[in-house]
């Protein structure tokens, strides 16, 4: 072969390599969206799908990231917990998405968890949850119990003087584990067992007359009583309606909710609910430039001047921007590189401060208590003086208080036992054991 042929072949190979690299650079970054668009959780999750699509549009308008556009890949797990796992596998194995934003309920997250660990995917989970988990493949941008439940109880106890407690929740892992933490915490604080009432109802529960009557009777013992609600999904609408029907005002028995925000209130008459409370890390009524910009963007995206924003939307805003910054920092969408890069990333939140990704894959958040107004918004009545870092493992559960999570090397463990000095099972294995 002549030198000229060698040169031609070399140039051809170089041209092919440049061409392939250019094509690779132009391939979109595929963003999986795993939220229920039908079924009992659609009332809460549909807007989260819309939020991620809005964030993708904005990022693309700014030039994408690493010279690549982003492409949404939307599926509907339809409030069907096993279907969440199937759809997660479809997104990762068939659609080859680079990242997933999704889930609301913990039972859906635990269904997805073994899949994202097996296929080494990335999941950003935007909703408050019970803790007791830390996976190298999941980033928890909603509140852990120490960022919502515990501060809410402290507020009721210290500011309102509550002595009797109704822990009312939907019957699945988040309310049960959260209430187990709260029951232990309340008893540690000197609350008698007979001053704690616990009640669970199925998803989509609609007949609240007897339960609300029981709550009313429990609250008539001469001690200040409050309801701590972990009721999820569309069951909240008839629950609050029945409170109004039975004349339970916030001044009598206040309800503090962990899963009711502006979106859920937009479907009901809030007049009888004025004064009831919710504990979140963001409210639409927050006074900050970042929040006003986000609201304007959301109204423009929806074409609805009455559109509302809520806490899980802010969690997706934070998680999405953290993912973008981690991809920039890593210089690639490679999953392992992004996992390494994202710890320590800090981005603006919507309350006027910053959120940082901690080594346990939870973030820093302010805690806010809001009071329901007659326009369906919340007036902030209390907030922490600074942000709170999320705890993966509760100090109030015997099997958890010795555990920590740190996904930095050399520890690289979500269940490190500080007493034994060893790492335990993965989050996916623990989720499978819980089933």
Residues 352-389: pLDDT tens digits?
A: 999 999 999 999 999 999 999 999 999 999 999 999 99
| 17-31, 116-130, 189-203, 387-401: least confidently modelled range | 17-31
Confidence tier at 271 by pLDDT (50, 70, 90): confident
Q: pLDDT tens, 193-230? A: 999 999 999 999 999 999 999 999 999 999 999 999 99
Do the Cβ atoms of 342 and 334 come closer than 8 Å? no
Tens of pLDDT, residue by residue over 31-54, are: 999 999 999 999 899 999 999 999
pLDDT, position 328: 98
Assess whether pLDDT exceeds 70 at residue 182: yes
End-to-end CA distance of the chain: 66
| pLDDT at residue 344 is higher than 90 | yes
**234 pLDDT tier (thresholds 50, 70, 90):** confident
pLDDT at 399 exceeding the cut of 90:
no
DSSP collapsed to 3 states, the chain? CCHHHHHHHHHHHHHHHHHHHHHHHHCCEEEEEECCCCCCCHHHHHHHHHHHHHHHHHHHHCCCECCECEEEEEECCCCCHHHHHHHHHHHHHHCCCCEEEECCCHHHHHHHHHHHHHCCCCEEECCCCCCCCCCCCEEECCCCHHHCHHHHHHHHHHHHCCCEEEEEEECCHHHHHHHHHHHHHHHHCCCCHHHEEEEEECCCCCCCHHHHHHHHHHCCCCCCEEEEEECCHHHHHHHHHHHHHCCCCCCCCCEEECCCCHHHHCCCCCHHHCCCEEEECCCCCCCCHHHHHHHHHHHHHHCCCCCCCCHHHHHHHHHHHHHHHHHHHHCCCCHHHHHHHHCCCEEECCCCCEEEECCCCEEEECCEEEEECCCCCEEEEEECCCCEECCCCCCCCCCCCCEEEECCCCCCEEEEECCCCEECCCHHHHHHHHC
Residue 150 has pLDDT above 90, yes or no: yes
Q: Has residue 320 got a pLDDT over 90?
A: yes
Task: Report pLDDT for 269.
Answer: 81
Mean residue pLDDT across the chain: 92
Residue among 25, 26, 73 nearest 53 (CA): 73
All domains in the chain, ordered by first residue = 146-280 (3.40.50.2300)
| Cα distances (Å, whole numbers) of residue 104 to 51, 126, 286 | 14, 7, 23
Euclidean distance between CA atoms 169 and 177, whole angstroms: 10
Specify the range with the lowest mean pLDDT, choosing from 48-57, 98-107, 235-244. 235-244
Give percent of the chain with pLDDT exceeding 70. 91
Backbone angles phi, psi at 68, to 5 degrees: -120, 145
pLDDT above 90 for 338: yes
Lowest mean pLDDT among 96-105, 182-191, 272-281, 357-366: 272-281
**pLDDT score, position 15:** 45
- pLDDT, position 428: 56
Q: Does residue 2 carry a pLDDT above 80?
A: no
Residue 26 burial class via C-beta count within 10 angstroms: exposed 0-12, middle 13-18, buried 19 and up: exposed
**Per-residue confidence band for 16, with pLDDT thresholds at 50, 70 and 90:** very low
């Amino acid at each position: 072969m002549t030198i000229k042929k060698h040169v031609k072949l070399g140039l051809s190979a170089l041209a092919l390599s440049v061409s392939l690299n250019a094509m690779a650079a132009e391939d979109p970054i595929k963003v999986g969206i795993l939220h229920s668009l039908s079924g009992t959780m659609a009332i809460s999750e549909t807007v989260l799908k819309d939020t991620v699509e809005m964030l993708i549009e904005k990022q693309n308008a700014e030039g994408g990231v690493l010279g690549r556009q982003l492409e949404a890949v939307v599926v509907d797990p339809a409030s069907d917990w096993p279907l969440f796992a199937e759809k997660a596998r479809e997104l990762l194995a068939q659609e080859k998405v680079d990242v997933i934003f999704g889930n609301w309920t913990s039972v859906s997250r635990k269904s997805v968890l073994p899949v994202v660990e097996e296929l080494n995917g990335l999941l950003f989970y935007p909703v408050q949850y019970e803790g007791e988990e830390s996976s190298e493949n999941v980033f928890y941008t909603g509140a852990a119990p120490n960022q919502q439940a515990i501060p809410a109880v402290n507020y009721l106890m210290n500011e309102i003087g509550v002595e009797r407690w109704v822990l009312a929740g939907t019957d699945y892992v988040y309310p049960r584990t959260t209430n187990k933490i709260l029951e232990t915490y309340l008893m540690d604080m000197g609350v008698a067992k007979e001053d704690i009432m616990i009640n669970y109802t199925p998803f989509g529960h609609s007949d609240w007359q007897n339960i609300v009557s029981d709550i009313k009777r429990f609250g008539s013992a001469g001690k200040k009583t409050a309801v701590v609600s972990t009721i999820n999904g569309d069951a909240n609408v008839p629950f609050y309606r029945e409170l109004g029907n039975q004349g339970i005002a916030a001044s009598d028995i206040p309800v503090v909710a962990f899963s009711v925000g502006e979106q859920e209130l937009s479907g009901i008459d809030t007049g009888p609910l004025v004064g009831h409370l919710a504990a979140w890390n963001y409210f639409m009524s927050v006074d900050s430039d970042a929040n006003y910009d986000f609201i304007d963007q959301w109204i423009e995206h929806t074409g609805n001047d009455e559109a509302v924003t809520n806490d899980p939307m802010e969690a997706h805003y934070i998680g999405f921007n953290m993912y973008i910054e981690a991809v920039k920092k890593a210089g690639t969408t490679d999953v392992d590189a992004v996992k390494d890069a994202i710890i320590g990333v800090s981005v603006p939140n919507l309350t006027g401060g910053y959120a940082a990704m901690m080594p346990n894959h939870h973030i820093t958040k302010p805690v806010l208590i809001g009071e329901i107004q007659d326009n369906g918004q919340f007036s902030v009545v209390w907030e922490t003086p600074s942000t709170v870092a999320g705890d993966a493992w509760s100090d109030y559960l015997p099997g958890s208080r010795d555990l920590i999570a740190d996904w930095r090397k050399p520890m690289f463990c979500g269940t490190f036992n500080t007493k034994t000095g060893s790492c335990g099972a993965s989050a996916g294995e623990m989720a499978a054991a819980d089933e």
